[in-house]
Structure 1
Amino acid sequence: MAMKVYPPEFKADAVALYRSRPGATIAEVADGPGVNRETLRSWIRIADGRRGPGAAPARQAAACEGEGPEQENRRLRARIAELEKEREILRRAAAYFGGRDEAVSRFCFVEDMRGAYGVKRLCEVLGLSRSGFYAWKAGAAARAARAAADAELTAAIRRIHAQDPANGAPRITAELREQGHPVNHKRIERLMREAGIQGLHLRRKVRTTVADPDAAPAPDLLGRDFTAASPNTRYVGDITYLPVEGGRFCYLATVMDLYSRRLVGWSVAEHMRAELVVDALEAARRERGSLKGAVFHSDRGAQYASAAFAAACRRAGVARSMGAVGSSADNAAAESFNATLKRETLQGRGLKWWSGVRAARLAVFSWIARYNTRRRHSANGQLSPVVYEQRAASLELAA
C-alpha cells in the first residue's frame, strides 16, 4: 500500500482533537480521522517537542499538579485555544507556500504574519530558528540589490536578443562581457530561463547533394578535421536551397575558411549547374587575393565533381578534397553553416519562404555581412570571424 501524505493542517487538527479529549486513548482518537495510531503518536511527540523540552501533555500536567476539575478545564480550554492558533498558522502557511517548503518562503511568511502571531510563536510552529529568521531579515537590503541588478541585466539581455533573436546564452554572455559586465554564463542562463528568452534551435532537414556516379572522386584530405593553423589554407563548401514563394527555389554555394569560419566566397542562382560553385570559388579568390596552395573540401555532389569546377580549382591553385557519398559528417562544418544561416534568416522567424529571389539574395547578403563582422562564433572564443583574423594578425605582428 502507498504511504499517505497528510497536509500540515490535517496533522494539527488530529493533535488538537487528541488534546481536547483528556479521557480518550490515542487508539480511540486515531480511529476518528482514520490514521494509524503510531502515526498519530509521532505527531503528538513532534508537537510536544516543538513546545519545548519542559512541556508535557495536558493530562500528565493535571495529574502531577493535582489540579481540581475547574482549574483543569480552564487550563485545557487555554491549551485548546493555543492549538487552534497553531492550526490556523499552519493552514495559512500551507496556502502561502503554494506547495513549496523552502526556508526562504517560510521566513517570508514569518515576516508577513509577525504582527498577528509574533515571531517566537511562528518560528516554533514552523520549526524555524529565530536567529535564522533575523539573519535572513538582515540580508534584505543585499537581496533587493541583487534583484535590482538582475532586473537591469535582464533588460540588457532583452536588448541584445532583440538585435538578433538567434543569440543564445553563450553569445549574450560574451556580448555583455565586452560591454563591461563581469557576468557568469550560468547567471545569464538563469535570467534567460526566468524571462522566457532563448535562442533559435532548429535543424536542417533537406539534402541537396546529388552525386555523379561517373565522375572521378577526389581524395578526402581533411579526414573530418575541420581546423586550420592559419588563414587561407583550408576551406569547405556546400550548396543549400533557398525556398521562394510559389514553390520555387534558388540556391546558395559557399566557401568558408576553416581557420576563422569566415565566409570568403558565395554565389546565389536559380540553378544548380556547375557555374554556381565555380562563381563561389572565384568570389573567394577575389576576396583573398590568391588561393594558391589551399585545400577546398566538399561533398561528392555533381557540381563539385564536374570538369568545370576541377578546372577552376586548377586555375586557382587549389587542391580538391571530397568526403564519402551520403556522409554529412565528412562535411559537417559546411553543413552546419548552411543550417545556421537558414534557421536564423528564415525558419527561426516563422517564415516558410522568401517573397522572391531578390528578397532571398538580400537576406542572405545581409546575414553573411553580419555573420563575418559581428556574429560571435564559439570556435573563435566568441569572436566574429573578421575580428578573430584581425586579432591573430596583430599578435603575429607583435611577436
Structure 2
Amino acid sequence: MLAGQPKYRQAVIRRRWKLETYHLIRDCHQKYNWKINLMCKWAKIARSAYYKYFDTKREPGEREKRDRRIEAKIIEIAQSNNSLFGTEKMTMAVNRQMPDEKPIYHKTVYRLMCINSISSQKPRYKKPKFKHTTPEKIAENKLKRDFNASKPNEKWCTDITEVVVQGLPKAYLCTVLDLYDRYPVGYAISKRNDVALVQTAYEQAVKTYPNAHPLFHSDRGFQFTRAPFQNQLGEQGMTQSMSRVGCCIDNGPMEGWQGIIKEMRVVLHPQVVSYDELNASICKTIDYYINEDPQKRFNGLTAGEMRKEAMRGNIKNCPIAPNHRIEGYWKTIKEKKIREAKKILS
C-alpha cells in the first residue's frame, strides 16, 4: 500500500495507522480489560506516546497550534472552491489569506492536505474539432511566440472556445486576454459562434481601455479574417497578428487560459441544469480567476491584483519562466536538421 506513494503521503498513512492503533488499544482495554503495556509492546508503540495522545490536559505546542490554524484555513479554502487548488496554488492562497503568519511553505501545506485527504479535482477535456474555412484576409504572425509583455495593453490575444454540458446547448466563449498579466480585458458568451460574439468581446475590451493600441493576435478563424474587422483594428490603432495554419502553439497562452477556465468551471459549478446557469457559471468562474486564483508567476498575486498594481503605475517585470523540456525538444530538432544538412553536403 505504501509502495510508490510520495514520501509525505507515506508518513500520513503511517500516522493514520498509528492513531487507529491507539484507539484499538483503548477499546480493547475498556472492553476486555487487556493490559495497555502489553498491547503497546505487541504493537511496537511507546506507552508514553499512547498516554500523551489521550491526555486532555496537555497543552499543544506552538508548532501544533500553528498547524491547526493553517489546517483550518486549508479546509475552509477547499470547501469554498470544491478542492480546486493543488498544493502550489493552495500554498499561495493560504499565504494571501493569512498575512500575519510567518511564511507558510508548500511542504507544510502538502502534509496537512494529505492528512485531510484534500487534493485537486480537475477534469480533462477532449479537443473539439472545427471546420476549416477560407480566410478573407490574413495577417503576418508578428507576435512570433514572444508571449512576454513589459506593460499592460501592449499585447492582446483572443480566441473562441466552446463550453459543453451534456443535455444543454453549447456556450461559446470569446475572450480578449492581455498577455502582460493574463487579465481578460473583454469577453462575451453566446449560443452562436459568429461575428457578433467576437464583436461584443472586442467592443467590451475597447470600451474598458479606449486608449489601448496593442498588438492584437488571433488564429485564422473566419471572425478575425474579415476585412471590416481588420479595418476596425486599424482605426483603433492596433496591429493585427495571426497564428500560422495548424500552429495552435502560436496562440499558446490563450489556448491554455481557456482550458484553465473550463476546468475551473466544472469544479466550482458542477451542477448546471439550464443554459442561463451555464452562462452564469462561466462568468462567476472568470470572476473567481480574476480575484481569487493566485499565480506563481506573479508571486502569489491574482490577475486582478496584478492589474490594479499596474494601473497605479507599479509595473512589475514578470517574465515567463523558461520551459527546459520544450527548449530541449527544439534543440534536438535543430541538431537533427544540422546533421541532415551535413549529410546532403557531403
Moved more, 140-149 or 161-170: 140-149
Query: For residues 185 and 269 of structure 1, do their structure 2 counterparts lie closer, same or farther at Cα, with a shift above 3 Å needed?
Result: same
Of 373-382 and 262-271, the range deviating more from structure 2: 373-382
Q: Which residue is 2:232 aligned to?
A: 312
State the partner residue of 2:86.
168
Q: Is 1:267 aligned to residue 184 of structure 2?
A: no
Unaligned runs of 5+ in 1: 1-98
Residue 396 of structure 1 deviates from its aligned partner by 3.9
Say which SS state the counterpart of residue 346 (structure 1) adopts: helix
Determine the structure 2 residue equivalent to 1:302: 222
User: In the alignment, is the contact (CA less than 8 A) between 1:235 and 1:295 conserved in 2?
Assistant: yes
- Which of 360, 366, 374 is equivalent to 2:292? 374
Determine the C-alpha separation between the residues in 1 that align with 2:297 and 2:180: 9
Q: Deviations over 1:336-368 (max 9, x none)?
A: 2111211222366545x6512x22222222222
> What pairs with 1:17-56 in structure 2 (closer than 5 Å)?
none
Secondary structure in 1 matching 2:164:
strand
Identical counterparts, % of pairs: 25
Using the TM superposition, give the Cα deviation of residue 251 of structure 1 relative to its aligned residue in structure 2, in angstroms. 1.0
Out of 177, 186, 192, the position equivalent to 2:107 is 186
Structure with more helix by fraction: 1
**Which one is further off, 141-150 or 197-206?**
141-150
> Using the alignment, how far apart are the partners of 2:223 and 2:273 within structure 1?
25
Determine the structure 1 residue equivalent to 2:8.
Answer: none
Residue 333 (structure 1) aligns with? 253
Using structure 2 for the length normalisation, give the TM-score.
0.69
Residue 242 of structure 1 and its aligned partner are, at CA, apart by 2.6
CA contact (8 A) 1:212 1:305 kept: no
CA change 1:350–1:394 in 2 (3 A) is closer
Give the letter for the 2:197 counterpart: L
Q: 1:190-246 deviations in whole A, cap 9, x for unaligned?
A: 211221112233333233654423433322222222221000110111101133664
Q: Shift of the alpha carbon at 1:285?
A: 0.4
What residue is the counterpart of 1:344 in the other structure? 264
CA contact (8 A) 2:291 2:303 kept: yes
User: For residues 315 and 382 of structure 1, do their structure 2 counterparts lie closer, same or farther at Cα, with a shift above 3 Å needed?
Assistant: same
Structure 1 residues 197 and 319 mapped into 2: Cα distance closer, same or farther (>3 Å)? same
Please name the residue that 2:274 is paired with.
355
Q: Which residue of 2 aligns with 1:324?
A: 244
> Higher relative contact order by CA 8 Å / sep ≥ 6: 1 or 2?
2
Q: How big is the shift at 1:170?
A: 2.4
Task: Work out whether residues 274 and 303 of structure 1, in 8 Å CA contact, stay in contact via their aligned partners in 2.
Answer: yes
Q: Which structure: larger Rg? A: 1
Given that 2:150 and 2:180 are in contact with CA atoms closer than 8 Å, whether structure 1 keeps it comes out as yes
CA contact (8 A) 1:223 1:330 kept: yes
- Equivalent AA in structure 2 for residue 196 of structure 1: S
Q: 1:204 to 1:228 in 2, by over 3 A?
A: farther
Please report the TM-score for the alignment, with normalisation by the length of structure 1. 0.60
Q: Which runs of 5+ in 2 are unaligned?
A: 1-12, 23-28, 316-346
Aligned equivalents of 2:206 and 2:221: distance in 1? 21
Aligned counterparts, 1:7-86, within 5 A: none
Q: Does 1:202 align with 2:123?
A: yes
Match of 1:30 in 2: none
Q: Give me the CA root mean square deviation.
A: 3.9
1:243/1:323 CA distance change after superposition, 3 Å:
same
1:211 touches 1:300 (CA, 8 Å); kept in 2?
Answer: no
State the number of aligned residues: 286
| 2:174 partner amino acid | A
In the alignment, is the contact (CA less than 8 A) between 1:209 and 1:300 conserved in 2?
A: no
Conserved? CA contact 1:254–1:267, under 8 Å:
yes
The superposition leaves residues 361-395 of structure 1 with CA deviations (integer Å, 9 ceiling, x where unpaired) of 22222222332233222332221122112223446
Q: Distance in 2 between matches of 1:396 and 1:350?
A: 38
